[in-house]
Chain A
Amino acid sequence: MGEPCPPHPHTHSGAALSLSPVLWGWFELRWAQGGPWGHPACGGAAQCHQTCSAAAGPAGLAANMKLILIFSALIGASLCLETFVGHQVLRIKTKNEEEVKQLQLLESLEHLQLDFWINPSGPALPVDVRIPAASVQSVKAFLESQGIQYSILIEDLQDVLDKERQDMAESAQRQRSTSSFDFGAYHTLEDINAELDQLASEYSFVEKIQIGESYEKRPLYVLKFSTGGSNRPAIWLDAGIHSREWVTQASALWIANKIASDYGTDESITSLLDKMDLFLLPVANPDGFVYTHTSNRMWRKTRSKIPGSICVGVDPNRNWDAGFGGPGASNNPCSDSYHGPSANSEVEVKSVVDFIKNHGNFKAFLTLHSYSQLLMYPYGYKCTRPDDYAELESLGRAAANSIRSLYGTTFQVGPICSTIYQASGGSIDWSYDNGIKYSFAFELRDTGRYGFLLPANQIIPAAKETWLGLLKIMEHVRNKSS
């Protein structure tokens, strides 16, 4: 009762007169008994349509109908301000000028409170009219008696308005949700997965896909950014392969939102996604990530059981099939850089390998780590230069310059082996040796003051500057991937 009717473009403001059901019933009865106005007419039910058209002459019945409508409207006004319950919208198809004139007559009866969405003007054009609930039957009866064809566009307008309001509320709720997700804070796996759902539901070109399961059976979710095409050249980006490097998962979320929300307005992002697809894996090691929340903030590896050892977990960035088992990885299961029993033994690694191989059209492989502020390309497993050294070094420097342009943060550029240390079984070595030329690994902020425990107020600055570096690389890849 206290709720105002939702505003509608076609609504007349003010009261709509309608006949109470009791009075209407009385009139029906009178009619059926052959009432004071002569010929029994249809009570407006659709089943009468044919008989009505045949039974009574158009002019006489129209006049009767007119009087009935006038009476019913004048008597027993009941207030209906708040809802459009039972209101119907009809589309009337006139066949000739005569029928148009009839509708114009109807239109002139103001007390009927008919709301013409498309006014009767000529026989060729349809006429749309909203009819208050109480008038629905009588108007239909009139149309039928005149042999004027109509169809029901909206059965019950209130239903439509209710649904619309619900949609708007849900959309607003979604708006609140994605804009209320705090990208400048660290989140649990549940919250991150919920945000992935939000992004996928809010943006038509964003899809959440599952590429596999972790050791402890957690889904490995990838966000696919694709504006069309079929198996377009693609870019891979992952974060959190080492679970304690929290700024990377957090940055990946910010980056996902940045790309999704700026597509269509940002020239660079738009031209990138118009040509290429992007696949983003924000939490590459969900088991480890959960463990950093529940048990040990410094956990790095996966959580797989190792046969014959009391120690748990494999360093997922020593487990790729690139110089596997070589220098820079440990064969001790208790070590934080344990390479695992065999290459791709970790399902978290194998899932990515299989996905990328099956896709077959990846042009770039980018991975986020922390900390140290480095921007590296292959190789790690050997200290010799890759064939594309010159191009990768140059592109790396350009990306590092982009990063520095924002807050002055300096990233060292170079091959893994000389920039950080020799390390075998790394992901970008694998991707490079498997034909993905643009393979880069980032080590984000800081350089050791906070290390893994980077304060949350540095998440967004870190994400923003890193994004500039990533974008620089992606633009280059796009230009080269015509």
Chain B
Amino acid sequence: MPGLRASPPALLLLLALALPRGSLAVQQLEPGSRSAAAAARVALQYRNFQAGSLGGLRALGQVRKATLKNIPESGHKYYLQFSTEDYRTGEDAGNCLATVLFPKKKSRPVVSIKCSHTKDQKEIQEEDNKFYQRIRHQSKPITASNIPDSYGNIEPALEPVWALAVAGSSSIMWEKSTETLGYFLAQVKSARQWMRKDDFIEFDYTVLLHEMPTQEIISCHMRLTWLPGQPLKVKHFCAPEGHGAEQGSGAESGSAAGPAAEKGASF
């Protein structure tokens, strides 16, 4: 059809006009950039929670490639390629490709992530079963505090309890993260097991999260259940920031403010 054949440039122009302005704004980020690393961390927190595996927990290695795209009316979307390490041993655990969308409206980041692995699934499953058995074999409910202790020690017997806390708190950290606020697990303040009639493991935790860049220490309460091969179920409530809770360098005396409704709380 002669009319169409003659008008490709016009078509392109139409297309360009039809799309909202700035939607093609794409920015290459330095692999060493802070925001790229923060976004990669959020992606891993999401994965560590979703995978429901203690043996498969990963920490961020190095960001290899990072791109930032502004999606109008939606938010900022990061495209990332990064290496990972085994959370416990620090050994190379493989690479990941991920996208992280920080929505304009205050809600949790939207993450898609796919990773290669150096350990095969069977190996990870075996480790999970070992962790599971170590907890199940206790005759009495496990209680513990300060993991690691002030000197960075984690008692070998408490390693499964710690790993479970890492997996569970990852859900809290992922949900709370924004493009400018990131989280690290500073310490497991307390852990208390609830015995169940079924095969699930259930724990109550108080965890301290280190918030960046504010440097605040946030205290969160977490109740979780776990069975190897099943997704983790986590309910959490974090103390309101800035006043009352003396976890970081906040108030001197006890909490004056009562627990306020906190976004993301799901009790």
Contacts and interface: CB of A to CB of B under 8 A. Distances in A.
Interface in A408-441: 410, 412, 414, 418-421, 423
B33 A298 contact: no
A293 B252 CA distance: 16
A176 to B, nearest CB: 24
B251 interface: yes
A298 B152 CA distance: 13
Interface string A446-475: 011111111110100000000000000000
A138 interface: no
Interface in A332-350: 332, 334-337
Contact size range, A:
35 or more
A453 B213 contact: no
A452 B60 CA distance: 17
B59 interface: yes
B139 interface: no
B247 A298 contact: yes
B216 A335 contact: yes
Contact of B248 (A185, A299, A450): A299
A337 B253 contact: no
A452 B253 contact: no
Contact of A336 (B41, B87, B216, B252): B216
B250 interface: yes
A447 B87 CA distance: 12
Interface in A13-36: none
Given A297-B187, A421-B213, A332 B150 contact: no
B249 interface: yes
A419 B34 contact: yes
B208 A334 contact: no
A312 interface: yes
Interface in A350-369: none
B151 A334 contact: no
B246 interface: yes
Interface string B222-255: 0000000000000000000011001111111100
A340 to B, nearest CB: 12
Contacts, number: 106
A244 to B, nearest CB: 9
Interface string A298-335: 11110000000011110100000000000010101011
A336 B243 contact: no
A335 B62 contact: no
Nearest to A459: B152
Interface-central residue, B62, B185, B249, by most chain A CB under 10 Å = B249
A423 B212 CA distance: 12
B87 to A, nearest CB: 7
A296 interface: yes
A421 B212 contact: yes
Contact of A453 (B187, B243, B251): B187
B217 interface: yes
B247 A337 contact: no
A117 interface: no
A336 B151 contact: no
B250 A186 contact: no
B72 interface: no
A17 B152 CA distance: 67
A17 to B, nearest CB: 64
A327 to B, nearest CB: 11
A298 B208 contact: yes
A310 B34 contact: no
Given A335-B216, A453-B186, A296 B60 contact: no
B77 interface: no
B217 A298 contact: yes
A242 to B, nearest CB: 8
Given A300-B215, A300-B249, A419-B34, A453 B150 contact: yes
Given A299-B249, A453-B148, A456-B152, A410 B186 contact: no
A310 B251 contact: yes
A412 B60 CA distance: 14
B253 A310 contact: yes
A301 B213 contact: no
B166 to A, nearest CB: 9
Contacts of A414: 32
Given A453-B186, A455-B148, A328 B213 contact: yes
B150 A418 contact: no
Contact of B186 (A301, A310, A334, A452): A452
Interface-central residue, A293, A298, A312, A414, by most chain B CB under 10 Å = A298
Given A311-B250, A334-B250, A418-B34, A410 B62 contact: yes
Contacts of B200: none
A456 B59 CA distance: 20
A455 B249 contact: no
Interface in B150-200: 150-153, 184-187
Contacts of B138: none
B136 to A, nearest CB: 26
B213 A451 contact: no
A336 B184 contact: no
A336 B34 contact: no
B151 A186 contact: yes
B148 A336 contact: no
Contacts of A312: 249, 251-252
A296 B208 CA distance: 12
B213 A313 contact: no
Contacts of B208: 298
B47 interface: no
B152 A450 contact: yes
B214 interface: yes
Contacts of B149: 453
Interface of B: 32-34, 41, 59-60, 62, 87, 90, 148-153, 184-187, 208, 210, 212-217, 242-243, 246-253, 256
19 contacts: A293-B150, A296-B247, A300-B248, A301-B249, A310-B256, A311-B251, A312-B252, A313-B249, A335-B250, A336-B249, A336-B250, A412-B32, A448-B41, A448-B60, A452-B210, A453-B148, A453-B152, A453-B187, A455-B153
Interface of A: 185-186, 246, 292-293, 296-301, 310-313, 315, 328, 330, 332, 334-337, 410, 412, 414, 418-421, 423, 447-456, 458
What are the 5 A-B residue pairs with the smallest beta carbon separation, nearest first?
A455-B152, A421-B213, A336-B215, A448-B184, A301-B249
